[in-house]
Amino acid sequence: MRKFSCGRPLYIEMPGTVDDIDYSDIEAKYRVEYDESFDNTVVVDGVPIIDKSKLEKLLAKICKEFSKRGVSIKPDDIYMPWDDAKGKNKGYLFIDFRNENEANAAITAMNNHPFDAKHTFKLNHFTDIERYADMNETYVEPETEEYTPREHLRAWLADPQGRDQYVIYRGEEVQIHWHGKPSQCELAYKPQWEPFLYVAWSPLGTYIATLHRRGVRLWGGPSWKHQQRFAHPLVKLIDFSPCENYLVTWSNEPIVVPEGAPQGPQYFSPDDEGNNIAIWDIKSGDLLRTFSTNAENENPSVKRQMQWPALKWSPDDKFVARATPGQMISVYELPSMGLHEKKSLKIEGVVDFEWCPLSDKDREEAEKAATIGAGAKGGKKIPENKLAYWTPEVANQPARVTLLSFPSRTILRQKNLFNVSECKLYWQNQGDFLCVKVDRHTKTKKSIFCNLEIFRVREKDYPVEVVELKDTVTDFAWEPKGERFAIVSSSDPNLGNPGPGITIKTDVSFYQLDHGKNDFKLLKTLSNRTSNAIRWSPRGRHVVLATVGSSSKSELEFWDLDFNNEDASRREGQVAKDDWGSSIQLLGTADHYGVTDVEWDPSGRYLATSASAWTHTLENGYAIWDFRGQELVKQIQDRFKQFLWRPRPRTLLSKEQQKQIRKNLKEYSRVFEDEDQRESETVNTELVAHRRRLVDEWNAWRARCKRERAEQKGQEGGPEKNSEEDKEEIEVWIDEVIEQIEEEVVE
Amino acid sequence: MRPILLQGHERSLTQIKFNKDGDLLFSCSKDHVINVWYTHNGERLGTYDGNNGTVWTVDVDSESRFMVSGAADNTLRLWNVATGKCLFTWEFPTAVKRVAFSEDDKQVVCITEQRMGHQCAIRVFNINRSGDGTKQSKEPAHMFNPIGSKATVCAFTAQPNIIVTGHESGKVALFNVKTGEEIDNNERAHSDVVTDLQLSPDKTYCITSSKDKSARIHDTKTLMVIKTFTTETPLNSAAIAPNRPYVLLGGGQEAMSVTTTSLRQGKFETRFWHKVFEEEVGRVKGHFGPINTIAVHPKGTCYASGGEDGFVRVHHFDDSYFRTELYGDLEIED
């Protein structure tokens, strides 16, 4: 018996009867929880008062009424309280549903249901009635919420060092940095945001937007708090209005409003189903209107690429317009989002349109007028908005570009064009000029050349100048606030059939308005380049030519267009004949491999280039250069996606103040130079101290390691090999052939 | 000095190693051959023939008497360095990916691949150094299977019977070979395969390189990460330069994706990083494929790199390398 060391008996004792077994644990485990609450019970008021004889009929009728609205109940579910004294019912009844959800559905469906002319059903949860009956009747004054001033959304502009900010998005990580002198480039904020598609700044830099699965979120203020959200599921594209009052969102999925979705001014209602563009008020977060991008009568098999922005804003945020290609332009007023004058601009064949931007002066005047008050008509009238559109050639009608004033809808200027295959409208950012880039084809339609039709919008009768070019123009850009523009043209036969490894040869030309003759004259052509992108500094004067999206070339060229002349002389606009075009100077060249995006900072002092992982995966990262092409920062980072400078709003300084500053520039520069001097000294000492510390740490750690190692050796007591002693002597024989003479011996 | 180009292999290099004196350089490659070269002039001393598959790894003892190699023909071989004779062969079910001698030359550790249902195994063999070396025990002294991610690289530490390993998952761990017990680990040392592991001269710290584009210095006792060097390309090898405060990193775009990139320099360079400040201080180009392996002369007078292009380049450092004080006069312990 010793074999069973566990000491248990060899047989199992059978219990006497089944009753002895304790099942309590199993019972506890499988006990059914009865729902004892009354959440599934609904009270119906407004039931006709009848006597017993009509009871069955009434119940049947009630059941029928309910099932008509999709709520099926049986007479058995109904309990009708009875007043035995009068022999009549009490005018209300209870209905039991299977669960709370069904009860809720019944309430939404049947509440305020007119049963007959005199009786209207009022449905309530049984639990609600109990709750409200027990309510405390005495009035409790609601606590006044403490007023907390909102954070200033433009606090970043008050940075004592006048730095700009930028956001970088890498992998799943977002960082917002300050950019200034080397010592001032610090992390401003590292948010922990839920996964999102991409980030975007609002046009004046007040908000930063993130696109999530469930909608758009706006963040801002010094603490980067959540400011607003717009529930547009699966949003893919967003567009801010120029004054940051409104937001347009787009999703490729049509809007679906599921049952039980929250309702309110901030949410989609069932009427919005099927649409995919939404317009929101940013301050209140309210939904203003939704549209569908798919025209109803369009052939779905011919899918054209959607234009974005699909809705174009007037520069003062008063109107938003969308074109229905070939038919009309519809202009909506804000904030009501109603169609202006209840009718669209019917324009046969319209392809595209652009609003004229407001100049700084226009804005100032508009602001002034607003402060004086709308009632007092102070002298000048606020100029109307303008928009330009074009229509292609149809049958015998020529193509046409039209300049239209809005809201008066008067046509200001029209220009007929022939042999047009495509037009593009480019406004100068102050609205002084409009350039229509017209791609024209020869009679045989085999080759394409380009005309630039330039409207001088500020002059009487809107004179039009034509610049004729032989090549195809691939990019066009106005100098901001200037009278110059740059174009990229190409006569490369490979143009139009892109392939791997093909880099298209281009020419870059600069043009300037000649005040004497009032036409645009060529300043300079830089031939045989690969540049395909023009990036003017937002302050004008400097321009960067970049080769973007090529796998073999990635050059950046930094040009200055006023290298010789002082700033002031250009302002007068008088350039002597002999040095026409001579002041253009190359400041520097640089290379950023695989560059996909090139962007100036809002001050026009720095340029950022980035290689985004969205386009390719080679050496993703970003670099910051100064306007001369000197590299300041370069970060190669895996999975780098986005680099965006934070935009700045228009300056708050008046013209006079700006002039004053320009006059005292020398004083300022002395202060700044002193600062820079101090700065570089502290940077150096800090760096040296930092390195000192690193070395000390390292040496301390090494000393500790060595000590430990020595101790360990000592413990082992093993004979330490002394490599110095058993040195080997090695003799090396080197044969060197100094001369080799072949002698022929003649016997 | 002009680099010496060693053109003795027909396929990409897998590992190169200096002997303790630094006068010999051993190189092994996918072309089944092991070569040995004179370091000072790049003359080939001889070859070790007999392997029947890619030779993944070599190591040489401190006396330059015995050399071990591991190959894809599932063998671990012991060679006589001087004669080039194969002294003994151990056979396994799978390929040998890494071998290393212990400090006292009496033991060899080897890692075998995880394949065909066989687990990744780490074996330690005692080497009988008496006689001509042909009498070896067939059975390993210790053997164990590391649990979890398979080991890719290993080396003996200063402490007896303890090895440091790098794993496919990016883990770096310490094992007691006697018990097979994992003493310590750092699961997050790297986020991708550890491709190389080399010890400092006194074995108190080691440098690892990884496909996650970074290299790290670890304390071999605590596995604490001391320094991190982050580059923009996957790394295949990392080495420590004795007497100078530098580390050498090599790598490049994966061989399979090289053809899809334009012929762009900058990926296939040996990068010199400052060991303490974690800053890149220089690059040496030359290879036209990824660098697979780097080794530095034990006295720090030259280094060699072996590439996917099949070449070994031996660079003897110029005087300026020893004299330049890049960051001013700072005393940095080796």
H or E stretch covering A519: strand A519-529
> What pLDDT sits at residue B313?
92
Handedness of CA B36, B41, B42, B45 (dihedral sign): negative
Peptide bond into A500 cis (omega under 30): no
Per-residue model confidence (pLDDT) at position A5: 47
Backbone angles phi, psi at B324, to 5 degrees: -60, 130
What one-character-per-residue DSSP string does B304-334 give? Answer: EEEETTS-EEEEEPPHHHHH--TTSS-----
**If residue A78 lies in a helix (H) or strand (E), which one and from where to where?**
strand A78-79
> Chain B interface, mutation test: which of A551, A699, A705, most B Cβ atoms within 10 Å?
A705
Report pLDDT for A570: 47
* Cβ within 8 Å, pair B219-A701: yes
pLDDT of residue A383: 77
Residues of chain B in contact with residue A708, where contact means CB-CB under 8 angstroms, are 204, 221
pLDDT the model gives residue B35? 92
Q: Is the complex ipTM more than 0.85?
A: no
DSSP three-state, residue B108: strand
Q: How many CB atoms lie within 10 A of CB A20?
A: 7
Q: How far is CA A235 from the centre of its chain?
A: 11
Between strands B246-251 and B270-274, the pairing is antiparallel
Gap between the Cα atoms of A63 and A486, Å rounded? 78
Residue A702 and residue B264: Cβ atoms within 8 Å?
no
Q: Give which of A396, A361, A485, A391 is closest to A434, Cα–Cα.
A: A485
pLDDT of residue A303: 52
Would you call B332 and A636 a contact, using CB atoms and an 8 Å cutoff? Answer: no
| Residue given tokens 């000491």 in the structure block | A7
- A positions 496-535 inside 8 Å of B (CB): 501
Residue to mutate among B232, B275, B283, with most A CBs inside 10 A, is: B232
Separation in Å, CA of B96 to nearest CA in chain A: 31
Q: What is the DSSP string of A308-334?
A: SSSSEE-TTSSEEEEEETTTEEEEEET
Q: How far is A636 from chain B (nearest CA, A)?
A: 6
Evaluate whether B47 touches B68 at the Cβ level (below 8 Å): no
- Report angle CA A609, A613, A619 to the nearest 5 degrees: 65
Q: Which residue has the tokens 């009309």?
A: A328
B332 and A701 in contact by Cβ < 8 A?
Answer: no
Instruction: State the best of A593, A640, A698, A720 to mutate against chain B, taking most chain B CBs within 10 Å.
Output: A698
Calpha distance B115→B94 (Å, rounded): 7
Choice between A442 and B44, residue whose per-residue pLDDT is larger: B44
A692 lies within 8 A of chain B by CB: yes
Q: Compare CB distances from A706 to B159, B202, B221 and report the shortest one's residue.
A: B202
Confidence of residue B67 (pLDDT cuts 50, 70, 90): very high
Which candidate, A665, A708, A493, places its Cα nearest to that of A567? Answer: A665
| Residue-by-residue DSSP string for B134-183 | ----SS-SEEE--SSSPEEEEEE-SSTTEEEEEETTS-EEEEETTTTEEE
What integer pLDDT is reported at residue A146 of this predicted model?
83
Q: Which residues of A touch B259 (CB under 8 A)?
A: none
Task: Report the pLDDT averaged over residues B304-308.
Answer: 91
Q: How many CB atoms lie within 10 A of CB B41?
A: 8
pLDDT tops 80 at residue B327: no
Q: Name every chain B residue with its beta carbon within 8 A of the beta carbon of A703.
A: 333
H-run or E-run covering B31: none
In A111-253, where does DSSP find H-type helix? 126-133
Give the distance from residue A684's alpha carbon to the nearest chain B alpha carbon, in angstroms.
Answer: 12
CA distance B114 to chain A (A): 30
pTM of the entire predicted model:
0.64
Measure the CA–CA gap between B243 and B333, rounded to whole angstroms: 8
In 3D, which of B212, B259, B255 has the Cα closest to residue B231?
A: B212
Distance CA A652, CA A659 (A): 13
Note the pLDDT of residue A647. Answer: 92
Q: Are A401 and A436 spatial neighbours (Cβ–Cβ below 8 Å)?
A: yes
Q: What is the pLDDT of residues B276-303, one digit of tens each?
A: 888 888 888 888 888 999 999 998 899 9
Largest distance between two CA atoms of chain B: 57
Whether B158 contacts chain A with CB within 8 A: yes
Of the candidates B236, B248, B243, B49, which has an alpha carbon nearest to the alpha carbon of residue B153?
A: B236
- Whether residues A552 and B262 touch (CB distance < 8 A) is answered with yes
Non-local CB neighbours of A128 within 8 Å, separated by 6+ positions: none
Half-sphere exposure of A215 (CA within 13 A, CB side): 18
Closest partner residue to A709 (CB to CB) among B160, B202, B232 is B202
Q: Are B158 and A709 in contact (CB under 8 A)?
A: yes
Other Cβ atoms less than 10 A from the Cβ of A161: the count is 10
Calpha distance B248→A583 (Å, rounded)? 48
B185 φ, ψ to 5°?
Answer: -150, 165
Calculate the CA A56 to chain-centre distance: 64
Q: Which residue has the tokens 């959440």?
A: A39
> What distance in Å separates the CA atoms of residue A15 and residue A21, rounded to the nearest whole number?
8
Cβ neighbours, 10 Å, residue A188: 18
Per run of 10 residues, the mean pLDDT along chain A (length 747 residues) is: 47 57 78 72 84 82 82 81 81 83 80 81 81 78 82 86 89 89 81 88 92 90 88 90 91 82 81 87 89 61 67 89 86 87 85 88 77 54 83 86 88 88 89 90 79 88 87 89 89 73 84 83 87 90 88 86 63 52 84 89 91 85 90 86 91 85 87 84 84 88 86 66 58 81 78
Mean pLDDT of chain B: 87
Query: Which CA distances in Å does A72 have to A92, A97, A133, B265?
Result: 19, 10, 29, 76
State phi, psi for A684 to the nearest 5 degrees.
-60, -45
- DSSP for A122-139, written as a single string: EEEEHHHHHHHHT---S-
β-strand pairing of A287-291 with A519-529: unpaired
**CB burial readout A585-620, b (16+ within 10 A) else e:** eebbebebbbbbbbbbbbbbebbbbbbbbebeebbb
CB A156 within 8 A of CB A645: no
| B155-212 pLDDT, tens digit each | 998 888 899 999 999 899 999 888 888 888 888 889 889 999 999 888 889 999 998 8
Give dist(CA A610, CA A594) in Å, integer: 8
Q: Does A618 touch chain B (CB under 8 A)?
A: yes
Residue ranges of A 582-611 with Cβ closer than 8 A to chain B: 593
E strand or H helix that includes residue B291: strand B291-296
Strand partners, B230: B214
pLDDT bracket for residue B238 (50, 70, 90): very high
Report the residue from B213, B221, B333 with minimal CB separation from A703.
B333
Helix (H) or strand (E) segment spanning residue A739: none
What pLDDT score was predicted for residue A746? 75
Gyration radius of chain A over CA positions:
39
Contact present, A545 and A487 (Cβ < 8 Å): no
Look up residue A299 and give its two tokens: 């052939």
Contacts of A638 in chain B (CB under 8 A): 213, 232
**What gap in Å lies between CA A537 and CA A604, rounded to an integer?**
5
* In A525-605, alpha helices (H): 567-572
> How far is the C-alpha of A392 from the C-alpha of A389, rounded, in Å?
10
Which chain A residue's Cα is nearest to B220?
A705
Residue A106 and residue A73: Cα distance in Å, rounded? 10
Shortest CA gap B253–chain A (Å): 10
* pLDDT above 70 coverage of chain B, percent: 96
| Phi, psi for residue A247 in degrees, rounded to 5 | -135, 135
Residue B129: the pLDDT is 84
- Alpha carbons within 13 angstroms on the beta-carbon side of residue A601 total 20
Side-chain-facing half-sphere of B318: CA atoms under 13 Å? 6
CB of A685 within 8 Å of a chain B CB? The answer is no
Nearest-by-Cβ selection for A695 from B160, B266, B332: B332
B106 and A CB contact within 8 Å: no
Residue A695 touches partner B, C-beta closer than 8 Å: yes
Name the residue among A464, A490, A465, A463 with its Cα closest to residue A476.
A490
Of A636, A638, A694, Cβ closest to residue B276: A694
Return d(Cα A668, Cα A181) in angstroms, integer.
Answer: 17
Residue B234 contacts by C-beta under 8 Å, 6 or more apart in sequence? B192, B195, B210, B211, B212, B213, B251, B252, B253, B254
Residues from chain B contacting residue A634 (CB–CB below 8 Å): none
Taking the C-alpha atoms of residue A437 and residue A425, their distance in angstroms, rounded to an integer, is: 6
